[in-house]
Structure formats: structure tokens, C-alpha cells
Structure 1
Amino acid sequence: MQRYFVHEEQVNNNHITIEGDDVHHITRVMRMEPGDELYCCLNGKTALCTIAEITNTFVKVAVVQWVEERSELPVAITIASGLPKGDKLDLILQKGTELGAAAFLPFQASRSIVKWDSKKSEKKVERWAKIAKEAAEQAHRSIVPSVTAPLSFKELLAASAQYDACIVAYEEEARKGEKANFVQTLEKLQPGQRLLIVFGPEGGLTEDEVQRLCEHTFVSCSLGPRILRTETAPLYALSAVSYHFELMR
């Protein structure tokens, strides 16, 4: 069943008004009619609804019941990616959302080839948010991950203070055969806590960047013996978190 994410201001008692691009999706793509059912997600809660009214600009639905769902990871994972080139970040956002990421923090790394254009910032962040929203709907998530405009490395360090644990995936750890740090970090986390994972761009993080991260309570770790691409590593990490917290328990 289709689901749509809504905000507080769209809710009036037991009715929800769906607006924007979702109206086109409901009426033109899904060809729904009054009486059809759909899900509306609000602040992590999900409501089963029936369509009460359809117009050219909005769809009004009536809440039938609030349903219990468990589609979110027990721990909130934020993915911090050094800006990669091309559309690799789009892939990280889409697949990372499907795999359960709670937020994304792109950042300007020393070896990032792409330089952030502040003039195009608003439109690009809007596009990223749309990618996350559509992926969250497809994956039956109850929240849409947040996506920020790219941070500087200094801003990333400051933001790390908000988390219960922070790790940095570093290929040199894999070359040295390090195997325990990622698992040990996950074993210390409790449901409801927040984990920040930092990944470098195509050229990886510099030794200085990793050192500065470790000075800010980050733990440097490998993701196994193979060296993963910048767009593959976050997806591997999220899959490992899901296995640890959802399949092993």
C-alpha cells in the first residue's frame, strides 16, 4: 500500500490534507479514487487512511486508525560522506535510506574533487531531500532521513558532539588487519542511541583528517579486509548495523 509523509500543519483532527507532488502521484500515477486506502506518516507514526476528497490541488484523507510499525533501526545512524563526484551521493542517499539511515551529513573533505557551489545549494539540497523521501516511501519507512547542505570539516567535527558514538571508516585499518573496532562500537550502543559514521570521498580521507577525527572521540575502524568504494562503504556499514541489531536478536 502506498504511503505519504505529511507535516503537523496538514493534520486537522482526524483528517489529513495531502498537497504538492504527492497529489499528482495519487491521482495520475496511482489513479486512486475516493474510498481507496493509503498510509500517512507523521513524526514517526503511521496512520491507515481512506481518501475522502480529491481536487486538482489537494487530496483529503480520513484517518481510520494509527498502526504500530517497526521499520526503523533500533539505533539512529547518521552517514557523513566526503563529497564524491558525479551522482554517487544520490546513490548513497537512495540506498542508504532504504537500508535505514536516519540522517546524512555530506562534507567537504580534503580530497573531494567536487567543490560545493553555494549558489546552487538550495536546489541541490531540495533534490537530495526528494530522493530520500521517495526512497523512504518505497522502503516503508516511518521517517524521512534528514539531509543537510555540505559541512566544512570543522563543522563536521563540531557536529560530532551530538552523538553517543562516532566512528570513521579508514582503509589503512583494513590494510593493517584491524577487525574489532566496528563490532565493539555496535556492542556498546543501546536502542535509541545515535551513531555517526564518517566515510571519505574517492581518494579517501587524509591521515591528518583521520587524526583530527580521532582527537574528537572518533574510533578508526575497517569494514573488513576489502577496500570499498565511497558509495559502497556506507551501504555495507548500514547492512552490518541492521544484521547486528535486527537479525542477530
Structure 2
Amino acid sequence: MSSLFLRDDLATAPHEVGDVVLLSGDEARHATTVNRMRVGEHTAIGDGQGLVVSGVVTRVEPRELELRVEAVVVHPEPAPQLVLVQALAKGDRDELAVQTATELGVSGVVPWQAERSISRWSGPKVAKGIERWSSIVREAAKQSIRPFVPVVSGLADLAGLRALAAENRMLVLEPTAGVRLTEISFAEGAEAPVLLVVGPEGGISPHELDVLTAAGAQAVRLGDEVLRTSSAGPAALAVINAALGRW
């Protein structure tokens, strides 16, 4: 399978072996004009929630593509879920982090308005920012052929993160932490999601770190180097994936 396209309502449409699944709209246009899919080629269509059908293309039009289903797979949701809490950052550094984290398997993304975030979302920018990040994770999931499209949550502030820390396993990337991420144990199949918090360009403030650790979060560091906000989260996710045996 070299490509994946999304149809959100796939589960409610006929999708068993032998059925013909129609892909239309922008997804079909991308398949036919960008990927240049042709009759007789094999591809896959998913719903972004674990269901993926694959088969042979039987019809191609500018905004329509039909696939005769040859295989149906329902992927189980990974456990524990890995969630990236990404602080807003200037330029496209936060977007790059979100894109790469999606490719590396996160189940969710939480945009965070940190104290030291140079980029600020307010008013109409909040909805626009969430829509932008949602588009990024959708395209990254398709590119990496992931059966699940991560969910982008609403914009969080420190109070919101404190509540999440009290209810979940939260790890805060902090270069001064005494514990390395490689010293933390992870168990495949664990029910509690793992929330990985990444600060902005200027890092997480002492006040934010105190609040989160008091609520139950644990500060960890990657190594002696200080990574950019665009690379810290993906680097940590790679470590966790290896620890869980997913890589």
C-alpha cells in the first residue's frame, strides 16, 4: 500500500470485500490529479478511526474514484495513547512539530498558550489555528499511511494543563530535569495516556513547571543538548516508541 485517502463516513457505507467504495470531492481530486491514480492500480481508503479498506481502482474521474475492495482491516487503537501538548511558537515551528509528531504516531495534539509563547491565539485566531493544525495532522496521517488521524483539542492554558496533569500521566520536557526520558518505563497496553508537554522557544517558565509538577506531572530531559521546540517533541516520541517496542 503506497497511498492512503480518507473518507470520514466509510464505516457507514458498504465496504466489505467485493464492494465498490466511492471517493469524491477534494480527496478524489488529490488522488487523480496529484497522485495520478489510474485504473488497475492498488490503493487504500480509511476513515481516520482505524478502518482501512484496500483494493484495485476501477474508475477514475477528475473528482471521483472508485475502489473495488479486496481487503478490510480494523486497526485497534494503540495503548497507551501518546498525546503531544505543543506550545504555540513563532513561524512554523509549532506546525512542524505537529506534522512530525503525527508521522511518529501521536493520538492527539493539544495546542498550548504558554507564558513565553511569542505566537498568540485570541478571538478568531483560535478557531483558525485549530483548523490549520487539524489540516496538518490529516495530511500527515495520509502521507504516513496511518489508520488513525490524531484529534486536535481546543487551545489550552496553564489551568487546563494542570487539570490534565491531575488526571493523566504527564511528562514535561525540561532541560534542567534530573531524570532522563530514557530512565522512564512505559508499558504497551497501558490504559493511561501519556501526555508529552513541550514548551515554546523560551522554554517553560519556572512558574508553569511548579504548577504542573505540583499537579502530578513529571519533568524529564532528553540529553545534554537543548532542542528546538519543533524537534523536542518528535525526538521524545521516538524514544517512547522505542521503549514501547513500536519501533
Residue 159 of structure 1 deviates from its aligned partner by 3.2
SS in 1 for 2:202: coil
**Equivalent residue letter for 1:4:** F
Contact map agreement 1:45 1:142 (CA 8 A) in 2: yes
Residue 10 of structure 1 deviates from its aligned partner by 6.8
Q: Structure 1 residues 60, 188: closer, same or farther in 2, change over 3 A? A: closer
Residue 120 of structure 1 deviates from its aligned partner by 3.0
Deviation per CA, 1:8-40, whole angstroms, max 9, x where unpaired?
A: 367422343323321111111122234432111
1:64 aligns with 2:70: yes
Written as runs of structure 1 = structure 2, the 5 A alignment for 1:132-143 is 132-143=137-148
Deviation per CA, 1:67-119, whole angstroms, max 9, x where unpaired?
A: 4769x865311111121111001110111111111111111111111111321
Q: Which residue number corresponds to residue 48 of structure 1?
A: 54
**Equivalent residue letter for 1:169:** L
Contact map agreement 2:22 2:67 (CA 8 A) in 1: yes
SS in 1 for 2:43: strand
Gaps of 5+ in 2: none
Q: Which residue number corresponds to residue 235 of structure 1?
A: 234
Q: Distance in 1 between matches of 2:237 and 2:54?
A: 29
Q: Distance in 2 between matches of 1:141 and 1:96?
A: 12
- The alignment's TM-score, normalised by the length of structure 2, stands at 0.86
Written as runs of structure 1 = structure 2, the 5 A alignment for 1:217-228 is 217-228=216-227
Gaps of 5+ in 1: none
Q: Distance in 1 between matches of 2:104 and 2:130?
A: 20
Q: Which residue number corresponds to residue 8 of structure 1?
A: 9
SS in 2 for 1:64: strand
- The alignment's TM-score, normalised by the length of structure 1, stands at 0.85
Contact map agreement 1:73 1:245 (CA 8 A) in 2: no
Q: Which residue number corresponds to residue 39 of structure 1?
A: 44
Contact map agreement 1:167 1:220 (CA 8 A) in 2: yes
Written as runs of structure 1 = structure 2, the 5 A alignment for 1:1-249 is 1-8=2-9, 11-14=12-15, 15-42=20-47, 43-67=49-73, 74-163=79-168, 165-173=169-177, 178-180=178-180, 182-187=181-186, 190-246=189-245
Q: Distance in 1 between matches of 2:78 and 2:11?
A: 27
**Equivalent residue letter for 1:64:** E
Q: How many residues align?
A: 241
**Equivalent residue letter for 1:47:** V
Contact map agreement 2:172 2:217 (CA 8 A) in 1: yes
Residue 142 of structure 1 deviates from its aligned partner by 1.2
Deviation per CA, 1:194-214, whole angstroms, max 9, x where unpaired?
A: 100111111111111111101
